[in-house]
Chains A and B, each alone.
Chain A
Amino acid sequence: MTRDAYVLLEDGARFDGLACAADGHAVGEIVFTTSMSGYQEAMTDPSYAGQLITFTYPQIGNYGVSDGAMESGRIHARAAIMRAAVDYADAPSATEGWLSWLTDHGVPAITDLDTRALVRHIRDQGAMRGGVFPESVSEAEAGALIEAEPAMIGRDLAREVSPPAPLGLGGSESGAGAGAGRGTEASAERIRIAMIDTGVKLSILRQLSERGADVTLYPCTYGAGQLLAEDPDAVFLANGPGDPAALGYIVETVRQVVGKKPVYGICLGHQLLCRAVGLETYKLPFGHHGANHPVKDLATGKTEITSQNHGFAVLGPSGAKTIDGDEPVRWETDFGAAELSHINLYDRTVEGLTLLDVHGGTVQYHPEASPGPHDSLYLFDRFIEKIQSGR
């Protein structure tokens, strides 16, 4: 089943390979992830909505797919771009082969492509729109399809992955186990968290649940008044796809919640909370997608190896994109001071901050990992402790 296919970028660069999953083409923003395992987690992570994932690790599909590796109820990335993909289902945990699974879900994929040449191109030119096309689609047609795809800047993709109505624990696409809670703990002792669901990963829900939190997922269009009426112990802002600058309505909701409830955010949620308190976000040249970025926790001085998946970042104090020192520098926000809590040691961008005068904090990366190292799981403990101690 060798069918020629190619990747075309909006700047005209073309890379040839072989189609290896569903027929047809896929168009969107082409990004790359450097994580060496966790392909299924990546494809089902709602943050990748609207994007085609280039896997820099060449061997993809090695251990098949399994239910436990789902980060949401379905595949969100639009295509997989790979160097050497296989469809083996020998691994004891595998329920299906990787390529069969992509095909069954109608997701195109391309293999045998020089992914490193593609990645170097994106690294130098920046992430851009593009697509995976079968040979039967001409370059001219492909170019037109890419042109028709809206650019990532200004895009509201959260609305597409958010649930239509509030979902209590266990009732969302989070599926079995996520919020079902464990054992016999009295619900009175459990913390009630309202999650503004812009595409939350199941692993975040698992981590919160394991720490005694009952989470309710709310559509991202839900208003502040509705949220506050539920009187949760804290509001949590999820990860998710797209440009935070296009989500003014969520920012407005958050702005009305800050100071009234503890607010925590991860990834897109971090960007939304920052915008809500008056900070700015910007688009990174080619984003952070991988499982090996060192981030320093300025509270402890420890470096953690983190899971990352974001295309936008928060500007530092005085509008700088990067921060030179390892000091906990401060911003003046609309809600008082905010202090840098985490910094990326690769490119010195903002990775997290704490609101000092109101109750809230955020991280840009993914403490829930999946895929990636577990170094940052402590952040969930820190969030929960802060909510419990009321500060």
Chain B
Amino acid sequence: MPRRADINRILLIGSGPIVIGQAAEFDYSGTQAARVLMQEGYEVVLVNSNPATIMTDPDVATTTYVEPLLPGPVERIIERERPDALLATLGGQTALNLAKSLHESGVLAQYGVELIGANYDAIERGEDRDLFRETMLAAGLRVPRSAIAHTLEEARAAVAEIRLPVIIRPAFTLGGAGGGVLRDMTEFEAMIGRGLDASPISQILIDESVLGWGEFELEVMRDRTDNVVIVCSIENLDPMGVHTGDSVCVAPQQTLSDHLYQQLRDQAIQVIRAIGVETGGSNVQFAVNPATEEIIVIEMNPRVSRSSALASKATGFPIAKIAARLAVGYTLQEITNDITRATPASFEPAIDYCVVKWPRFAFEKFPGAEQGLTTHMKSVGEAMAIGRTFKQAFAKALRSRELDSDPQFPADDAELLRCAAQPGPERFDHVLEALRRGHAVEELHGLTSIDPWFLRELEAIAADPDSPFAGERTFKSVDTCAAEFAASTPYYYSAWERPRAVGRDGQPVAVHEVERGSRASVVILGSGPNRIGQGIEFDYCCVHAAQTVRESGRDAVMINCNPETVSTDYDTSDRLYFEPLTLEDVLGVCEVERPEGVVVQFGGQTPLKLAAGLRDAGIPILGTTTDAIDLAEDRARFGPLLDRLGYKAPPYASASTPEEAIARAPGVGFPLLVRPSYVLGGRAMEIVYDVDGLRDYLERVGVIGTAGANGKSPTIYLDRFLEDSVEVDVDALCDGDDVWIAGIMQHVEEAGIHSGDSACVLPPHSLGEEMLDQIRAQATGIAKALGVVGLLNVQFAVHAGEGLHVIEANPRASRTVPFVSKAIGLPVAKLACRIMLGEKLADMGLPSEVATGHVCVKEAVLPFDRFAGTDVLLGPEMRSTGEVMGIARDFPTAFAKAQAAAGARLPASGTAFLTVADRDKSAATGIAIQLHDLGFKLLATRGTAKALARMGIPAQTINKLSEGSPHVVEAIGRGEVDLVINTPVGTGARSDGYEIRAAAVAHRIPCITTMSGGIAAARAIAAAAHGEPEVVSLQELYAESAQAS
């Protein structure tokens, strides 16, 4: 069946900011889909609020909107663009929910937009728990005993019927948010309440527990003529009970016989047919009881998912790309397999290696949060490894995780076994240690229910961690067909093989499959698993580097181990090596590639940590030298450089022992910003106000125990913290001689909030031209003094009394590069890469300053709803997982858009609750006046209310939690509060402020914890009162800017 000619313009919805459960995999799928649809000659209208995505690059779609993924803005886009069809199956749960809502509100019908991929009924059958269950039972499939509940009473009756333990799942949520395992009736009310709150339709599913059963997933594709193929099977090493996103997984499945596997296959096909997904990919999840061979269908996603990204990378079968073609009418048989280029896509990949996926956690960022793994996903990223055997893949995945510190094991065996038995972030480390200490496979199987096959394989790894890597390193291809056909797509992994393989003439048989060609190559090091502080922004830069290297006529070679990303799409580079980012693994690739140079500037700290080792091995580093990197990062060298330039910096000192730190602190002066050296995303960074605070920090964080990077001795940095200053981020390019300022961003929150968590605005909204000139001059001076060749990010603090201070300089891609690129309409990372390849700024014809007629706001998205127990305050330690961008003609509107896109949609009216620290009382008054004028009813705690009363602002007084009922936490719980403005008085757990913030997060009420954030919010609410903001495409903005300059 040919391509549909009755549609012309297709709206493609992305997945928005990176959040737990919805990460870079949807940039990968959305980018593939957009490109395919463009190649097929369709006009693609794309909407996504996340600027750090390749899909929102202006050349990927015909028209690109960076707008909030909410029904209002998307409806206005539909009204403007009049698409014929909406493809919502490639943008995760966000896109699917949005499509559902647009259908239900009649918008799609009103504008004649057809849902392609999955229609509304199929989405409903896949997503609505009741309908799904009915559909499965009607198809003769077994599902867990289950009940639906909308209230506590219904839930109580259901639990009595099904019997504990039961699994709680809220309907229509991402990554199982708000779900969990209920084992004990004492937790009943808390868990059921959380589940009902998390579901946008207040509906939960209570399931028979299949804890300990094997968990399997099948990736299924179907075309409009009902041909169905299974792309890949995935087995979770963690048995049922741990969210698949948090499980260590292997592809293909290992423990099922053909007999049992084919039953899963048959059922997966029955499921996709019964749900009625017309075209595209779906993911079907099963629980299998290995003893009784019972099979239970757990769930299905009628869309491309995280698992399909994994399956695509694991097999070389590009699910999203093919799903997009199927959605516009092609059948599987009509689509060619990219990799063989000779066979059709209507087949099932045969693989001759093993793939292991390992989740990456960030519990260290959320002190107080429960660390146990449940059906509620908590990991922030993942690493994938390919090995010739399971052991090779598992051991490679272990090192792909890039843990900040090695797991610690209890000396006591009983305690160790207890850790192994509890699903947690380091469970398999504990299992390996237990095996190493001689505990038997049978014993561990009894404790963990992990299949003995895996435990036996791990036993061998525990006995000799090097054993999987006996023999010699070879590079083999991922070819979808186990070498049955010649592959032409250069997607490689390292495999260790016995060396002796000789041909007739006694010459070795070729074991390397790399076809290197004769062109010069440039190796780009990716950023590894996503983690807080190192996310999709860096992958975005790496992809741009690959594009630039290719445009320069060289071969782009990518090394990365993150399956979610666009960088590990084999279409991105000339050769992809799916490898851990360790020195040894990277050198292994360099041995085969003999690259002209390696790019270490774009992948965050991960490649930077390898730079010195690569240089020592004689591998050329492109751009800024390792010495210049060190000059910027080593305070003992950077401080004197600033002195020489005559730039101010906050007083600082460094120490290598806690005693030394305490001794030096008074010399620097409190408050202090304290952190260990070479940190990423402000890891373990805190502000302390006195010696006691410092002592507490040093004990708690245990800085001394962590190894310094680059083999240096551990260092503790002490910086004077400039209170009440405004932070500014600058991204600049330097070619060694000239400097070009790409963007100056002013933070919305005051200094002390990590730049990754702070909203920021470009161009700055409240800095004078004189200050901006000073900022430009100092950024330029630093770039030249460091000898930067490529990108430089400088952070400044502007203090009202003491003027401009340099906080730090990073001679590499910063987190803000994609945002700046989207804001100014120029690809900053690409320009940097051209410089690194030898071009000069003078020859690049860049405008001296990009004139933008619009204001761009970046806002961070925080995962507090995932980590019950942790405080939701912003601080110097970064905790956001992703970002969104708001674009408008003025700052308040842009800020309002960014807030809405970040999921903290500001209320237009209602009740605002204020409680602020004494130092903030006067600023709070200003905000209160504005809110009052906008018609808000004001609630405040005693002290704040008194301050407001003095200014004649009426505010109703309400008790703090500690003052007893009726108190504000109850009011929030009853839904009587629409906006919370709360600045902290101390950060103790279980403080009043903590309880208020936790209640706000739990009830999804915007909770603003800084005064400047409050001021911006009030202005944004005022701007929104003038009506819904207009939507504007990037292409329009850039055309305007081009005219203006």
Contact = CB atoms under 8 A, between A and B. Distances in A.
A90 B453 contact: yes
Interface of A: 6, 11-17, 32, 34-38, 41, 56-59, 62-63, 66, 68-69, 83-84, 86, 88, 90-93, 112-121, 123, 290-294, 296, 301-303, 305, 345-346, 369-374
B349 interface: yes
Contacts of B226: 302
Given A63-B453, A372-B258, 6 more contacts: A59-B390, A88-B452, A114-B501, A121-B509, A294-B229, A345-B347
A83 B351 CA distance: 13
Contact of B352 (A57, A63, A294): A57
10 contacts: A37-B258, A57-B482, A62-B254, A88-B453, A91-B290, A116-B352, A117-B497, A302-B225, A345-B343, A373-B265
Contacts of A294: 229, 333, 344, 346-347
Nearest to B389: A84
A43 to B, nearest CB: 12
A146 to B, nearest CB: 13
Contacts of A37: 256-258, 261
A119 B482 contact: yes
B317 to A, nearest CB: 11
Contacts of A34: 350, 352, 481-482, 484
Interface string B564-605: 000000000000000000000000000000000000000000
A69 B483 contact: no
Nearest to A61: B453
A13 B509 CA distance: 8
A374 B256 CA distance: 16
Nearest to B289: A92
Contact of A373 (B333, B348, B452, B511): B348
A292 B261 CA distance: 14
Contacts of B451: 90
Contacts of B259: 68-69, 370
Given A63-B255, A69-B257, A120 B483 contact: yes
A112 B470 CA distance: 10
A59 B354 contact: yes
Interface string B122-152: 0000000000000000000000000000000
A14 B293 CA distance: 42
Contact of B498 (A16, A90, A303): A16
B456 A116 contact: no
A293 B391 CA distance: 29
Contacts of B255: 62-63, 91
B341 to A, nearest CB: 13
Nearest to A118: B501
Interface string B472-504: 001010000111111000000001011111111
Interface string B341-369: 00110111111111000000000000000
A115 B352 contact: yes
B348 A123 contact: no
Nearest to B262: A374
Contacts of B388: 58, 83-84, 116
B390 to A, nearest CB: 6
Q: Pick the most buried of A34, A93, A119, A292: most chain B CB atoms within 10 A of its CB.
A: A292
Contacts of B499: 16
In the A-B complex, the 7 residue pairs with the closest CB atoms:
A12-B504, A38-B258, A90-B452, A16-B500, A56-B482, A34-B350, A37-B258
Contacts of B346: 294, 303, 345
B391 to A, nearest CB: 8
Contacts of B391: 84
B266 interface: yes
B291 interface: yes
B227 interface: yes
Contacts of A17: 498
B258 A56 contact: no
B229 A305 contact: yes
Determine which residue in B227, B290, B332, B484 has the highest number of CB atoms from chain A within 10 A of its CB, and name it.
Answer: B484
Interface in B206-226: 225-226
A93 B257 contact: yes
Interface string B258-278: 110110011000000000000
Contacts of B743: none
Contact of B344 (A36, A119, A345): A345
B483 A13 contact: no
Nearest to B509: A117
Nearest to A89: B452
A6 B452 CA distance: 30
Contacts of B511: 114, 117
Main secondary structure of the interface of A (DSSP, over half): loop
A346 B348 contact: no
B21 interface: no
B886 interface: no
Contacts of B485: 123, 346
Contacts of A116: 352, 388, 476, 482-483, 495
A119 B486 CA distance: 11
A16 B255 CA distance: 27
Nearest to A344: B343
A62 B504 CA distance: 34
A64 to B, nearest CB: 9
Given A63-B256, A88-B452, A114-B511, A13 B353 contact: no
B501 A16 contact: yes
A82 to B, nearest CB: 10
B710 to A, nearest CB: 37
Nearest to A90: B452
Contacts of A291: 348, 350
- With a 10 A CB-CB cut-off, give which of A88, A114, A296, A302 has the most chain B CB atoms: A114
Interface in B319-354: 332-333, 343-344, 346-354
Contacts of A41: 258
A362 to B, nearest CB: 22
B390 A84 contact: yes
B681 interface: no
Contacts of B756: none
Residue with the greatest number of chain A CB neighbours at <10 A, chosen from B389, B456, B497, B511:
B497
Contacts of B501: 13-16, 114, 117-118
A88 B502 contact: no
A112 B266 CA distance: 33
A18 to B, nearest CB: 8
B252 interface: yes
A301 B483 contact: no
B498 A113 contact: yes
A305 to B, nearest CB: 5
A150 B266 CA distance: 41
Contact of B227 (A13, A57, A118, A302): A302
B258 A370 contact: yes
A13 B505 CA distance: 8
A17 B501 CA distance: 10
A12 B262 contact: no
A90 B484 contact: no
Nearest to A122: B483
B258 A123 contact: no
Contacts of B254: 59, 62
B454 to A, nearest CB: 10
A93 B225 contact: no
A41 B259 CA distance: 10
Contacts of A296: 333
Contacts of A16: 498-501
Q: Choose among B332, B500, B501 the residue with the greatest number of A CB atoms under 10 Å from its CB.
A: B501
A58 B266 contact: no
Nearest to B451: A90
Nearest to A68: B259
Contacts of B504: 11-13
A113 B451 CA distance: 26
Contacts of A114: 474, 497-498, 501, 511
- Of residues A12, A68, A86, A117, which shows the largest number of chain B Cβ atoms within 10 Å of its Cβ? A117
A14 B484 contact: no
